Every structure is written in C-alpha cells, then in structure tokens.
C-alpha cells in the first residue's frame, strides 16, 4: 500500500484509506476543489480580523478564557501560545499508526473548507504525512472533548517546527531538523488556525477505524479456532446447519455459522465419531457445551456490534469537526460537534464484544486440557502426564488475558472529569476508550493464538499428525501453517515462543489465507 495515493477532499474518507495511510504509509494528495474550499473559508476569517465584535478563536482567548479580547498585534502569539500550552501529553509514546491516523483525520476536516485555515496549513500537513514525519504523542492528555486536544497539539507544534518527532526511519529528532531534512517549511499560524488544528475527534476516530479493520480479521480467525476446537473435541457440526440459523437470522450469526460449517466440511474425525456412536448405540452427548455450540451466536453478536460501529465511523469520516466552523453560507458559528461521545461509545462497545469472544475461546481451550471433558486425550495434552505439563500454563496465560479484557471492557465513556474552570464540564474520554480497545484487540489475538495452538496439538494427538490427518481440508491447511512454525506434540518445550509464533500468524492473517485457499472462497 506504500505506492498508493489517497485523494483528500473528494468526499468522505474510506476506512481502507485510513488504514492505508496510517498503517502502511500510503501518500496523500489534496484535491483542487478542497484547496479552493479552504481558500474561500479563509476569506471569511480574514474579513473578521478587524471586526470589533468578538469571534471565538479569532479575536478571543480559548475555553474559560473566551471572554478575553485579543488585540490584532497579539493574535499570532495567541495561536502559538495555544499550541505550546496544549501540547501537554505525558506517558508512553503512542503508536505511529495512531498519530498518522489522527493527522489524516485532521487533514480531512481541513479539506472540507469549514475550518477557516489557509491551504498552506493543510498542504504542509500532507507533506509531513508523505515524508513520514510523526510527532511524538504521549498516551495521556486527551479527555475526548474539545476534541483530542493534547495529541493534536503535538502535531500542530511540529507543524510550527517545534517539539519532537520521529522520521520515516523511526529516529527521534527535533521537529525543525526533521522538517528541514524533508524540505518542508514550518508554518506560522494565523487567526483561528491553531484552534482549527486541535479541535477534533481525529485520534479516537483513527483508532476506531484501525480497530474495526483488525476485528474483521480476528472474528474470522475466531470462527476458524472454534471449528478446530469442535473437530478436536469430536463435537457435532449439525448445530451449524443453515436452516437452524435461518430461524434466528441475525446476519452476523448466519455468517459465523456458515464459516464454521464450511471449515468443518469433510472432516472424517467428526463424521466417523458420530457414526461410531450411532453404531454402538452410545448417546453420551446429545449436545455440545455452549462454548462450542453457541460460537456463531457470540461471534455473530460481535459482528453486529462491529457493523454498528462502522456505521458510526462512516458518518464521522465524512464530517467536519471543529469549533467554531465556517458554514456553507459564510457564518462563523460555535458548536459542540467536537464532543467525542459518538465515537467513545462505539469504542467501548467494541471492547465488550472483544472481551466476550476471548472469554469463549478460553473456555474451549480449557475443555481440551480437562481429561473428564476432552474425550480421550491426555490430561493437559501432556506427552507424559505428571512428568510433562503440556498446555496447562498456556491456559493460565489465556485466563490472565481474559480477566484483563473484562476490566478493559468497563466503559471509559461513562466517566467525565470537568475541566477548564467548568466551561468544559462534560467530556467523552473517547481517547482513553480507543487506547484500551487497542490493548484489548492485542489480548484477543493472543487468546486465539493459544486456542489454535492447543487445538492443533489435540488434533495431532487425535489422528497421529498431518501425514494421517483426518481433518477437513480447511483445518488441515491451518494445521500445516502452524506446524511450519511450531513442532508437533512431544515432551515439554519452551512454550512462550510457540505462543508468540502462532500469534504472529494470527496478526499476519496467514492462517486465514491458507484456509481461504483450501476453501476456494474467503471466509465471511
């Protein structure tokens, strides 16, 4: 995607464009219409410079200081002071892709022509993105109301040639040095521009779009993991029948059931086990446990949550979030569109779904390790139980992560700490919701990796390994990929690198690629 160019200002940003720019370094370009729209709205601001009537952000202070009139000769200093004072983040450095997503979102709002900035400001933003210059932003500083103030201020500070950035190679540099090396002139901000650069929900929105892209992959992976567990535990595939799910046709549930049904198709382990039970008149299990039987219902509910969240993101990606704004008919109006509640709620909603999908995955893993429930496998899948512990502690790792995910599912958006002398007396905490969702997604990937690793080991023990595999074609394809990076069952080995190796497969989508190739059509 590095060779891709995303055109800004020709309509709403597409989620895939956000991912391309933020994560993969795609270039950006401002359309001619957007440059003209910015020039037109700037003329409205210029006309207000000598107006004796106060205009917020043009001739006044900010926040609780909005009643302070600022003389013309002090207004450049006003904008510079705003950015310096608001660039007050602290804590660990946030990921490069988060900052690039934030920059892209602010550039998109500027390109609407509703903020009153000069075209040169947006053009310089675009040049910074294309040069790979990424301002350093700490994890604390945004309350998600009046936008992501501190994070956006660090970007604006770099635009001015101040503060710290990382270049395209990841080296830490003074902003002035990085700009000079890229041939970019710093910008001296004029009336309204400082405020226009920091009054948006761009950081939380970027995290929402990136999280949505990741969750699409992880939910398909969760379906694969569930199918491998059903096969490894000799479950039944009858509960995934299309007509059963048509009785409760939630789209996400239908899609998840279809995925599991397709992945299991042709499994001799399931078919032969069911046939043996019928022949011997053994009906020891009329139903599988919920963590197997109800996987489509839970994974489907997560898909429904994701669909709702993406509808919120689509609206936000096409919005002009600033305060005040220059309206289409030329008014300069204060508003509350910078409030992050819509995005904050969506981020928190996803965190709940992520925690529940991971919780179900951990329960399936645990069934493999309990001899009373794993249908003939060794305790903990140990090679020599007692001497070996097998995957006993891998499940502990899963359990620890799932417990953390439950804490991360507690909504950030229900909290609010008043700020700015009670002028900003209700805030969204959407930035915090975004950061905790990113951590939750990392946890889900790790939990699924343990389930996949465990299911692959159980299946090897069940059918003797890939040379005599009785798995479905799709599951065999996934097992082959896992066995490239992790050896088959045997005496206890150093387990952490094996978990990490499968996690990397999950993150890269390698298992899904193999399964899609085996099926001929990708999972839904």
Percentages helix, strand, coil for the chain (3-state, rounded to 5) are 60, 5, 35
Is there a catalytic annotation at residue 56? yes
Contacts 24+ apart (CB under 8 A), 244-251: 245/296, 250/300, 250/301, 250/304, 251/300, 251/303, 251/304, 251/307
Spatial separation of the C-alpha atoms in residues 79 and 110, rounded to whole Å: 17
Give yes or no for a contact between 42 and 118, defined as CB atoms under 8 angstroms apart: yes
Torsion over CA: 321, 323, 326, 328 (sign): positive
List, in sequence order, every residue forming a beta bridge with 90; answer none if it has no partner. Answer: 140
Nearest in space to 31 (alpha carbons), one of 111, 92, 107: 111
Spatial separation of the C-alpha atoms in residues 347 and 431, rounded to whole Å: 9
Please confirm whether the linkage preceding 159 is cis (ω < 30° from 0).
no
Instruction: Write the CA distances from 67 to 54, 60, 70, 521, integer angstroms.
Output: 9, 6, 9, 62
Spatial separation of the C-alpha atoms in residues 511 and 480, rounded to whole Å: 9
The one catalytic residue among 56, 125, 140, 345: 56
Spatial separation of the C-alpha atoms in residues 208 and 231, rounded to whole Å: 34
Spatial separation of the C-alpha atoms in residues 433 and 411, rounded to whole Å: 7
- The two three-digit tokens of residue 10, written as one number: 């020709």
Spatial separation of the C-alpha atoms in residues 271 and 265, rounded to whole Å: 10
Instruction: Write the CA distances from 164 to 62, 90, 121, 182, integer angstroms.
Output: 25, 13, 19, 15
3-state secondary structure 373-429: CCCCCCHHHCCCECCECCCHHHHHHHHHHHHHHHHHCCCCCCCCCCECCCCECCCCC
Residue whose entry in the numeric block shows the structure tokens 């002090």? 74
For 339, phi then psi, to 5°, come to -70, 130
Give yes or no for a contact between 175 and 164, defined as CB atoms under 8 angstroms apart: yes
Give yes or no for a contact between 475 and 227, defined as CB atoms under 8 angstroms apart: yes
The residues assigned a catalytic role are 56
């Amino acid at each position: 995607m590095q060779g891709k160019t995303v055109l800004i200002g020709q309509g709403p940003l597409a989620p895939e464009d956000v991912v391309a720019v933020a994560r993969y370094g795609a270039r950006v370009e401002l359309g001619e219409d957007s440059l003209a729209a910015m020039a037109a709205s700037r003329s409205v601001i210029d006309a207000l410079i000598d107006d004796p009537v106060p205009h917020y952000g043009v001739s006044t202070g900010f926040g609780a200081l909005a009643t302070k009139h600022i003389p013309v000769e002090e207004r450049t200093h006003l904008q510079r002071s705003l950015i310096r004072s608001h660039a007050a983040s602290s804590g660990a450095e946030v990921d490069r892709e988060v900052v690039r997503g934030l920059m892209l979102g602010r550039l998109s709002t500027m390109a609407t022509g509703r903020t009153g900035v000069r075209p040169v400001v947006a053009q310089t933003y675009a040049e910074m993105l294309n040069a790979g210059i990424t301002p350093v932003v700490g994890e604390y500083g945004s309350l998600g109301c009046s936008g992501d103030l501190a994070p956006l201020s660090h970007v604006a500070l770099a635009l001015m040639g101040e503060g710290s950035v990382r270049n395209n190679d990841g080296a830490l540099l003074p902003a002035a040095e990085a700009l000079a090396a890229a041939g970019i002139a710093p910008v001296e901000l004029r009336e309204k521009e400082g405020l226009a650069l920091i009054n948006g929900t761009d950081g939380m929105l970027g995290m929402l779009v990136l999280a949505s892209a990741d969750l699409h992959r992880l939910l398909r992976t969760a379906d694969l993991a569930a199918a491998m567990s059903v096969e490894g535990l000799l479950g039944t595939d009858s509960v995934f029948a299309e007509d059963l799910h048509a009785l409760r046709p939630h789209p996400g549930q239908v899609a998840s059931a279809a995925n599991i049904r397709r992945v299991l198709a042709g499994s001799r382990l399931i078919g032969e086990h069911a046939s043996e039970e019928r022949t011997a008149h053994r009906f020891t299990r009329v139903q599988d446990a919920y963590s197997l039987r109800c996987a489509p219902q839970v994974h489907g509910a997560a898909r429904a949550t994701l669909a709702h969240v993406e509808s919120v993101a689509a609206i936000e990606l096409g919005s002009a979030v600033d305060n005040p704004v220059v309206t289409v008919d030329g008014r300069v109006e204060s508003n509350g569109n910078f409030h992050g509640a819509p995005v904050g709620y969506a981020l928190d909603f996803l965190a709940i779904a992520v925690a529940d999908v991971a919780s179900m995955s951990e329960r399936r893993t645990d069934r493999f390790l309990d001899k009373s429930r794993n249908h003939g496998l060794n305790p903990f899948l140990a090679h020599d139980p007692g001497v070996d512990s097998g995957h006993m502690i891998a499940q502990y790792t899963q359990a620890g992560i799932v417990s953390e995910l439950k804490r991360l599912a507690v909504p950030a958006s229900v909290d609010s700490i008043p700020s700015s002398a009670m002028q900003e007396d209700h805030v969204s905490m959407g930035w915090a919701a975004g950061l905790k969702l990113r951590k939750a997604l990392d946890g889900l990937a790790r939990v699924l990796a343990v389930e996949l690793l465990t299911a692959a080991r159980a299946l090897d023990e069940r059918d003797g390994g890939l040379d005599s595999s009785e798995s479905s074609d799709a599951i065999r394809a996934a097992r082959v990929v896992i066995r490239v990076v992790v050896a088959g069952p045997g005496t206890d080995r150093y387990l952490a690198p094996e978990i990490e190796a499968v996690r990397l497969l999950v993150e890269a989508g390698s298992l899904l690629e193999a399964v899609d190739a085996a099926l001929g059509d990708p999972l839904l």
